[in-house]
Amino acid sequence: GTIAASVGVGQDTLASEDGLAEYIEKQKKLIGNYLKEAKFAGPQVIAFAGADEAQLLFVRHSANSAGSMLHAQTYARLGNWVGIVTLTTLEAQLKAVRPEYEAFLKGLRISPQ
């Protein structure tokens, strides 16, 4: 009956190379429509090996039976391509899973198409 932490990866294409901020704002609106009581922190600029730019966005919401959930979304842009890595965990588990998540992120590489 407990919720295990998970990591999801995805990718998308931006309309332009300077469109990451706009893309993240659209994602925030979509998430806000889906998770009615979502609270956002960020995005904030971070380093990501091989990316032209990268940003981190935190989303917190309450899952009725589980408690407070946290999503850490890393957006890494190279040209018009954007990779998205999302950690989903109970907020209470964040300290336990964050070191492994950060090691996972450091192991990721952007490869040319």
49-58 tens-digit pLDDT: 889 999 999 9
pLDDT grade, residue 45 (50/70/90)?
A: very high
What single-letter DSSP state applies at residue 72?
E
Helix (H, G, I), strand (E, B) or coil at 68: strand
With b meaning 16 or more CB within 10 Å and e meaning fewer, what string describes 10-21?
eeeeeeeeeebe
pLDDT grade, residue 15 (50/70/90)?
A: confident
At 87, the amino acid letter reads L
Q: What angle do CA 89, 90, 96 make, to 5 degrees?
A: 75
The mean predicted confidence, pLDDT, of the chain is: 87
Give the chain's radius of gyration (CA, Å).
Answer: 14
Q: What global pTM score does this model have? A: 0.88
Distance between CA 10 and CA 112 in Å, rounded? 16
Cis preceding linkage at 43, omega within 30: yes
